[in-house]
Chains A and B, each alone.
Chain A
Amino acid sequence: MSEVVKKFLYLNRKAPYGTIYAWEALEVVLIGAAFDQDVSVMFIDDGVYQLTKGQDTKGIGMKNFSPTYRTLGDYEVKKIYVDQASLEARGLTQDDLVEVAWEDFETEEEIENIVEVIDSARVSALMDESDVIFSF
């Protein structure tokens, strides 16, 4: 274990396809999980589309990587936040988003869904209390 645990926040602001940002951000989160830090992931603006259910990428010839978000719990990501205002502006609700389970394999503590929709005050507070923010 490293001595210093920092709070990392990964911000996802872009639609899943059309640019490489969403996939690259996901890879960085998965790779960064090896470093035993306190990791949160936040979806805001068009980034909320990354978590939507039922994505079909056949028409654009891209790999559909949406199932990969469901592994985030396995990779020690403890919290996934979604900005409520961004969801509402796009006519989406939490029901439109995938669920991500989290489990501590040692204590067998389980959380069924670590995706949490939060208001803008929480968004600001979380950004404020993070030691490191990566924005994609």
Chain B
Amino acid sequence: MSDTIDVDGKQLAVDEEGYLSNLNDWVPGVANVMAAQDNLELTDEHWDIINFLREYYEEYQIAPAVRVLTKAVGKKLGKEKGNSKYLYSLFPYGPAKQACRFAGLPKPTGCV
């Protein structure tokens, strides 16, 4: 039996670590439901990162490791955001792991 989460009345399958099983199931509501599970409220700053990750995946077909994410965010969204302190303040469980989960991506390559 795999787990599911309820998003807008739909049951979506997730794996044992809470990542969406099917990338194509993603809708923005997924991020909101997952954030609520982690007791987080998503702000525009969170969405910047989530959308960035989805674009990165679309282009490169992988979820970036945290150090690559940090560098790439700095380049795209400005140096003051391209550091792990900022990213951890948004995503306390780890920017790559947690934000990728909200974005419906697989667990980042290189994360253990």
Stretch at the interface among A25-33, A80-88, A112-120: A25-33
| Chain A: interface residue total (CB-CB under 8 A) | 16
Q: A-side binding surface: helix, strand, loop or mixed?
A: helix
Inter-subunit contact A68/B74 (CB<8 Å) = no
When the two chains form the complex, which single residue of B61, B65, B71, B109 contacts A67, counting CB atoms closer than 8 Å? Answer: B61
When the two chains form the complex, which single residue of B60, B65, B74 contacts A105, counting CB atoms closer than 8 Å? Answer: B74
When the two chains form the complex, which single residue of A34, A65, A67, A70 contacts B67, counting CB atoms closer than 8 Å? Answer: A34
User: Given the known A-B contacts A27-B109, A31-B110, are A68 and B71 also in contact in the complex, defined by CB atoms under 8 Å?
Assistant: no
User: Given the known A-B contacts A31-B110, A34-B110, are A74 and B64 also in contact in the complex, defined by CB atoms under 8 Å?
Assistant: yes
When the two chains form the complex, which single residue of A31, A34, A63, A71 contacts B60, counting CB atoms closer than 8 Å? Answer: A71
Inter-subunit contact B110/A68 (CB<8 Å) = no
B-side contacts of A33, CB under 8 Å: 65, 68, 110
Chain A residues at the B interface, C-beta cutoff of 8 Å: 27, 30-31, 33-34, 63-65, 67-68, 70-71, 74-75, 103, 105
Can you report 29 A-B residue pairs in the complex whose CB atoms are below 8 A from each other? A27-B109, A30-B62, A30-B109, A31-B109, A31-B110, A33-B65, A33-B68, A34-B65, A34-B67, A34-B110, A63-B61, A64-B61, A65-B61, A67-B59, A67-B60, A68-B60, A68-B61, A68-B62, A70-B59, A71-B60, A71-B62, A71-B68, A74-B68, A74-B72, A75-B65, A75-B68, A103-B75, A105-B75, A105-B82
